[in-house]
Structure 1
Amino acid sequence: MATRIYDYVGPEHVRTSARGSAPGTVIRSPEDLVHWCQAHRAERENDLLPATFVVRRDGYLYLASRRSEHVACASGDAVLGAGEIFFSSDDTPRVVAVSNLSTGYCPEPECWPAIRDALEGAGIPHPREFSSAFIFRRCPNCFERNLIKDDVFVCDICDTALPRTWNFA
């Protein structure tokens, strides 16, 4: 499967408010990750450090505070993948969990190879796959973004049947 490029599909006011925000920090090595984790130590939750991430078209992993918007982390650009990532709290951080949870980009679970390649390119140990993989669909009737739960492909807003294939292009 060819690598898909995910454009931002979230609310325009979020994109607008993200303009001018500092972009995410590029992670090219284990040392970059150690520095990022040390700088964000105060954000730890239950011995894990959560972060917002994107993989930009350059193939690198970019990290930002978990409370950051993905579109800000990506400097408003399209991405190869996005989600949430959790690092161990020791001196040599490793990825404990990673997901594609981003309602701004709604990436498919099939974006995993781009994330895997970014982590491996930076020399960062990681799980073999998403710890949690999410499926998103846009309603063809009301155009709302939907997170699919329990394999129920029905719009949460207007009860319209949702397509089985990704439809944000």
Structure 2
Amino acid sequence: MQTRLYDYVGPSEIRDAARSLPSGAFIRSKPDIVEWLTRHSDDTEIDGTLVATFVIDRNGCLLVAPRRSEHVACAAGGPVLSAGEMTFTAEGDVTEVSNQSTGFCPEPESWPHVAAALESVPLPHPGGFTTSIVFRLCPGCRERNIVKDGWFKCELCGASLPEHWNF
């Protein structure tokens, strides 16, 4: 399994503001996630699911926070093995997972760390990112980009983006 630690690459003002926010909740068992979901039931979607911000910390542990939380706050400012959003049923099963984190820009290849963390709890999951995002840093203007449909061009300045992850 590839082991890359992703450092925070987002705006410094978000990182600085996150220092005063609580970190994510460690999820070590099914009762942990059910209790967390109950405490955050005000955020439940119409279909009964709840979307959360998540990180997998450097030790392979799952941490969750409310959806609109910054990933860097969820990670207590530290590096992560993966980050994104996770959708839970009321029973704690995971129905959707993405690597959508513009603060850490994790690669789709970070999935095995997510799977290992979920299986250690254990929590049923979809077996892979249900939405997989490719991030690249523009070598020209230094803007973070999401590559869509294999189009490796910076949306801001038009420069070519590298084929390989480059943060």
Fold match by TM threshold 0.5? yes
The residue aligned with 2:58 is: 57
1:75-127 C-alpha deviation (Å, 9 max, x unpaired): 000000000000113xx220010000000000000000000000001111111
**How far 1:165 sits from its partner (Å)?**
0.2
The residue aligned with 1:94 is: 93
In the alignment, residue 54 of structure 1 is paired with which amino acid?
V
1:1-47 C-alpha deviation (Å, 9 max, x unpaired): 53110000000000001002100000000010111100010001122
1-structure distance, mates of 2:127, 2:101: 20
Q: How does 1:30-69 map to 2 (within 5 A)?
A: 30-46=30-46, 47-69=48-70
The residue aligned with 1:14 is: 14
TM-score, normalised to structure 2's length?
A: 0.98
1:29-72 C-alpha deviation (Å, 9 max, x unpaired): 00101111000100011221000000001111000000100000
Secondary structure, counterpart of 1:53 in structure 2: strand
The residue aligned with 1:27 is: 27
The residue aligned with 1:118 is: 117
2-structure distance, mates of 1:50, 1:83: 10
TM-score, normalised to structure 1's length?
A: 0.96
Runs (4+) of structure 1 exceeding 2 A deviation are none
The residue aligned with 1:3 is: 3
Secondary structure, counterpart of 1:129 in structure 2: coil
Root mean square deviation, CA, Å? 0.7
Is the contact made by 2:82 and 2:111 (CA closer than 8 Å) also made in structure 1?
Answer: yes
Is the contact made by 2:2 and 2:110 (CA closer than 8 Å) also made in structure 1?
Answer: no
The residue aligned with 1:82 is: 83
Q: Structure 1: which 5+ residue stretches go unaligned? A: none
Q: Structure 2: which 5+ residue stretches go unaligned? A: none
The residue aligned with 2:130 is: 131
Secondary structure, counterpart of 2:110 in structure 1: helix
In the alignment, residue 163 of structure 1 is paired with which amino acid?
P
The reply to whether residue 160 of structure 1 matches residue 165 of structure 2 is: no
2-structure distance, mates of 1:37, 1:94: 11
